[in-house]
Amino acid sequence: MIVLALVLERSAEAPPVRTASFTARDVARIAHRVERIRGLRFERAVRPLFLGREEAVEYVRRESRSEYPEAERRADEEGLKLLGLLDRQTDLGEALGRVDEEQLLGFYDDKAKRLVVIRDPGVTRPLLELTLAHELVHALEDQRFGLHSKEGVPDDSALAEAALAEGTATAVMVDYADRYLSLGEALQLAQLPESGRLPPYLEKLLLFPYLEGERFVVIHLMIAGRLHWKAAGARIPGKIGVAALDFSAGTLLMTEAGTTKRAAVHLVRGEAALREHDPGGLEVLEADLGAFSAALTAESHTVKRALTDPRLFSGIGNAYGDEILHRARLSPVKLTRQLTTEEIARLFDAARATLADWVDRLRREAAGGFPEGVTAFREGMAVHGRYGRPCPACGAPVQRIVHAENETNYCPTCQTGGRLLADRALSRLLKADWPRTLEEMEQHVARRRGGLP
């Protein structure tokens, strides 16, 4: 599993997704989806009012002057400064004005009963669509429940209703993103504009708190998935392309060869959601012998299966599982709970040494560049992918066990005391003629070639 943390930045080089073509029909489509998620119907259509940014800013300031008088704003400003939430040199009115000038995307006017949509070519369409989904929930609940009708100084009841309205709108918006935004559209949300000039208090209070938190791209390459670093803006390959992540320095392409598609990409928000994708396997290079032994013997499996189970051990996989077992001189089919204390210690040392050796070797091969030519079959491996070739330790031919699409390679002399392990495909074919030892296998091959009676 590969995790990328997305940095919130707007790239000046990235082409904007235009919103100037956003129409009343688009708003109606979003409203219909909001109805479906919320489980309520609009009593009447919400009238969208499309404005340019300057017109919208003037619209908001005109309403703010009546709803938020100067004296009240000054009193709030002084209170925030006394609490240390606002710098002494900051003017609250100017800071709120910058929000209107730079961050406003759309809003529901509960007095005029209309949805104001701002046309700004620099704003991504997915972000505008999510913003309108959020505001349309306010419009829907205003029609059905009148949650925005209270005026005057807010009491506890009004504050509770406001919290309920915002919470519901945020929940619907998140559900909307999950249902209706593609991966590419969701990734565009990671390019939110940063103000860079607002006090932290106002950032958290006003600027889309429902989109806060680190966002992570979780990539499962599975068997055939690969990552490639290309020049910025590189196209996704037609047949094998899965996704492209564009950064200012280049583009990370994800591909998957073959007809069976297993690779996956997930976009998650926050560390709690990220942890849901962690199978919980032990990091062998960070563990001690006691932790390794506990994980290995937690369940009774063959040692090869245990090593390649991501719930038990992280990042080993089929190829390095073979190499570890050859280095430890252990049979891949021996049960974990039948291992002796000495065998567990030997396996632990072999696992750490094998992983460390290959990390160093692959880093040297990459020479500071992006690793290309990634494969599970590498020159220098002892047994994996070397069926029929001589074991580098003893010279005996490497054998295999084929199960489904996986293949386990091992040396019978070094690992199983000369005994051949049953290969499902060959043992079904040969039945009673299946050789039990390497010597029997050699005699069987010689007879088929006419060398023995």
Residue 210 has pLDDT above 60, yes or no: no
pLDDT tens-digit profile of 346-403?
999 999 999 999 999 888 888 878 878 777 778 889 999 999 999 999 999 999 998 7
| pLDDT at position 8 | 33
Residue 314 has pLDDT above 60, yes or no: yes
Question: Is pTM beyond 0.75 here?
Answer: no
Query: What would the two tokens of residue 234 be?
Result: 């590189």
| Mean per-residue pLDDT, 300-314 | 93
pLDDT classification of 195: cutoffs 50, 70, 90:
very low
Closest CA to 56 of 133, 139, 118: 118
pLDDT tens-digit profile of 43-68?
999 889 888 878 877 887 777 666 66
**Is residue 103 classed as helix, strand or coil in its secondary structure?**
coil
pLDDT classification of 140: cutoffs 50, 70, 90:
very high
Closest CA to 319 of 381, 267, 387, 226: 381
Question: Which of 31-40, 178-187, 190-199, 299-308 comes out lowest in average pLDDT?
Answer: 190-199
Residue 263 has pLDDT above 60, yes or no: yes
Max avg pLDDT among 51-65, 76-90, 216-230, 303-317 = 303-317
Contact at 8 Å (CB) between 29 and 261?
no
Residue with tokens 């009115």, as numbered in its chain: 93
| Mean per-residue pLDDT, 228-236 | 87
The whole-angstrom separation of Cα 387 and Cα 451 is 23
In sequence order, what DSSP letters do the residues of 238-268 get, joined into one string?
TTTEEEEEEETTEEEEEEE-SSS---EEEEE
**Is residue 2 classed as helix, strand or coil in its secondary structure?**
strand
| pLDDT at position 441 | 54
| Mean per-residue pLDDT, 271-283 | 87
Closest CA to 31 of 114, 123, 112: 114
Query: Which domains, from first to last, does the chain contain?
Result: 2-211 (no CATH), 215-275 (no CATH), 285-366 (1.10.8.50), 382-453 (no CATH)
